[in-house]
Chains A and B, each alone.
Chain A
Amino acid sequence: MANKDPGIGAAVAAATCSLLGTATPGVSVAADAEPKWDIESAFLYYGESDGRVKDLSLSALATRDFGDERKLGLDLSVDSLTGASPSGAIANSSAQTFTSPSGRDTYSTPAGEIPLDNTFLDTRFALNGSWSQPFARLYTVNAGLGFSSEYDYQHIGANFGLTRDFNQRNTTLSAALAYAQDTIKPVGGLPLPLAQMTDAVDDEQSPGNRGDNSDSKNVLDVLLGVTQVIGRHTLLRVNLSYSDSSGYLTDPYKILSVVDPVTGDLIGRTPAPGASGPTGVYRFESRPDSRRKEALYAELRHDFSGKVLQLGYRYSTDDWDVDSHTLESRLRLPIGGSSYFEPHVRYYQQTAASFYRYSLANGALPEFASADARLSEMSAVTMGLKYGHVNAGGNEWNTRLEFYRQTAKAPNEVLIGNQPGNTQMPDFDAVILQFGYHFKL
């Protein structure tokens, strides 16, 4: 009985036109919305001043919506790092020679300059996958796995999170748990804590100051957060997080200069006859094997009729005595309907770790010591601008230029002899340039 009247569609259309007083039938353009990949791709250049670290990075974050709020996320990135980084040794009035991290070569630093270890060259590959979906009526669960690899470092991590909406979805509580296991396999093996740098050895021998080939580190992160809608234009987010790291937390490539406890000058050393090696006394650093960190983060977003201001503050404290404050702000300024500018400022400051040393006084050794400037009193400022444009197809390209300046200061109490007058910290500036394209496939 169904198909006796093939003309019914045309007759219904004509009757509808007549009823609605329209002259001709309009058009209908409807299509099934297939699940699509939403891809945020970016090319990033990061370059530090004075020929130090350069990072070229390609990344893509692909999200696929399967409907029912079920989402798959894949995050892929490749980094190429080149350049030199400060070894932790202090500048000296005469040239210095060091044994390289492998223990088989040497390199030299001219007089008056901060020693940089220029054997830094690496490619890093990282992949993260995540899945999120609703669970019961007001819950969303998400779970993810991550993996990254570089030649001396492997990371594998898993995370799980749960959010619940309250109060007509104006309040969201979230809880997340992440666990990571990292393996460190430094070139030349793991230096023994505070072991002295020795002469370079040839390929048949192993450097005498090394322990195992590799070690591991475990990190547990717990996060509790609340997001609250405050009125029609304001959103507040507050997170509390706890992080517990244990295992090998030392940087196997960082060293300290050993100095005269009275003058503060580097203690000289002569390599063995026929050997090449350090011309001063240097010791590998040693850090505690656990670190517990707590942080509070608050972020406010407000929409001033199209201009969106984001203000964030983070306080973090840990049992290494590194306390930090971060203030960050972004302002999104729409230009016309399809472009925007987004200025960005960030200020960061921290106190020094309890075992931070500018150098080590010759004599009895402390249990832990590190001259890594990232563990000293330090502040950093970032200023940048992003420009984005959404094209007719709904895809966005954007570019971001940022300047970063990091300034460290050795606390007075760690300076020895004449060091207070001639401290040189490995401060630097960096430029970040990013091109991004956000599209759908």
Chain B
Amino acid sequence: MGGPCEVLTEIVDEAAARKVVDVVAACAWRIEGKFSRYRTDNIVARINASAGAPVEVDEETANLFDFAALMHRLSDGLFDISSGVLRRAWTFDGGDRTPAPAEIDALLPLVGWSKVRWERPVITLCPGMQIDFGGIGKEYAVDQATQLAAQVSGAAVLVNFGGDLAVTCARDGGQPWRVGIESIDAGPRRPARLVDLAAGALATSGDTYRFVKVGGERMPHILDPRDGRPIRGAPRSVTVAASTCTHAGMLATLAMLRGEHAEEFLANEDVRHWVQRA
């Protein structure tokens, strides 16, 4: 999941708590195994190695493609699960290496969901294209794990996968969970904000660790798939509260993609949000 995963619960009984932790961990491993782009033996690897051949996918993968396709349309092409190819040019390691325009332009023909043929349950990529679920997978896993936790226990549980989190319900006595939003400068020990969460989820999109410097300007890892360049004026971090982590994460990502208009976008969506800018 690209970060520490934790389960917080108020269950006193060790066996009951263990049961919750086990289903959450199993869920995390399952989704990681199935959708990680770092593996060579899963559905993502199979699609990316298809070299233009059609690939039939299972129900769950198909649901994710339907979702990604809709998000692509709703975002006017800003959200695109085929944009990962651009990482060949951009390495967001905090350094200042900027790719040459020709280098980026050479990759653009391999980017764009509109070039993908998706006819459920069959997907066909152009040769050289790749897809990944990096922008959805973690939040999706949080929601799946939280649903499972709620099924095996009526107790209050918080599932946190690398900063994206959801709760099953309020804590004992109706107390909300208190969650710190990591400060963009100081790290986890000094939360920028404390949020009381009694229901639903929080997701954060940001560049705390992944950025590149262009002429001294810190550019976030979020790229515009239409021109292959970093989104200008994007906030350093956007956190959104919504009923599910997937929903929150999607709104946070879409806000980041709006660059300097992130706040405007979020205000229009009528969700609780916290934007950090440099």
Contacts and interface: CB of A to CB of B under 8 A. Distances in A.
Interface in A62-76: 67-69
Nearest to A1: B261
Given A69-B189, A306-B12, A18 B244 contact: no
B173 A12 contact: no
A337 B202 CA distance: 28
Given A2-B258, A19-B246, A392-B174, A29 B199 contact: yes
A170 to B, nearest CB: 16
A29 B269 contact: no
Interface in B189-213: 189-191, 193-202
Contact of B199 (A2, A18, A27): A27
Contact of B64 (A19, A33, A391): A19
Contacts of B200: 26-30
A53 B198 CA distance: 50
Contacts of B268: 2-3, 6, 9
Contact of A19 (B63, B174, B196, B265): B63
Contacts of B66: 15, 18-19
B176 A9 contact: no
B71 A12 contact: yes
Contacts of A31: 176, 195-196, 272
A204 interface: no
Interface string A325-362: 00000000000011000000000000000000000000
Nearest to A5: B74
B67 interface: yes
Contact of B67 (A1, A15, A393): A15
B64 A28 contact: no
B195 A8 contact: no
Given A11-B74, A29-B197, A32-B195, A19 B243 contact: no
Contacts of B75: 8
Contacts of A195: none
Nearest to A2: B261
A134 interface: yes
Given A15-B67, A338-B173, A67 B194 contact: yes
Contacts of B64: 19
A18 B243 CA distance: 14
B244 A26 contact: yes
A69 B183 CA distance: 13
B259 to A, nearest CB: 9
Contact of A394 (B140, B175, B261, B270): B175
B264 interface: yes
Interface residues of B, number: 54
Max chain B CB contacts within 10 Å: which of A2, A26, A31? Answer: A2
A157 to B, nearest CB: 30
Contact of B70 (A11, A338, A391, A394): A11
Nearest to A392: B173
Contacts of A12: 71, 74, 247, 250-251, 254
Interface string B66-85: 11001100111000000000
Interface residues of A, number: 39
B50 interface: no
Interface in A138-160: none
Nearest to A33: B194
A390 interface: yes
A20 interface: yes
B264 A13 contact: no
A27 B74 CA distance: 23
B147 A20 contact: yes
Interface string B255-269: 000100100110011
Contacts of A32: 193-196
A11 B251 CA distance: 11
A25 interface: yes
Interface in A6-51: 6, 8-9, 11-13, 15-20, 22, 25-33
A16 B143 CA distance: 10
Given A68-B190, A68-B191, A337 B272 contact: no
Nearest to B198: A29
Contacts of A390: 173
A15 B70 contact: yes
B18 interface: no
A8 B253 CA distance: 13
Contacts of A2: 258, 261, 264-265, 268
A30 B270 contact: no
Max chain B CB contacts within 10 Å: which of A16, A68, A390? Answer: A16
Given A30-B272, A31-B272, A69-B189, A20 B143 contact: yes
Given A32-B196, A134-B189, 4 more contacts: A9-B271, A20-B140, A20-B144, A28-B271
Closest 5 CB pairs of A and B: A28-B200, A30-B241, A2-B261, A33-B194, A26-B243
12 contacts: A3-B265, A9-B270, A19-B64, A19-B67, A20-B144, A25-B243, A26-B199, A27-B243, A28-B200, A28-B271, A29-B170, A67-B190
Interface of B: 12, 63-64, 66-67, 70-71, 74-76, 140, 143-144, 147, 170, 172-176, 178, 186, 189-191, 193-202, 241-244, 246-248, 250-251, 254, 258, 261, 264-265, 268-272
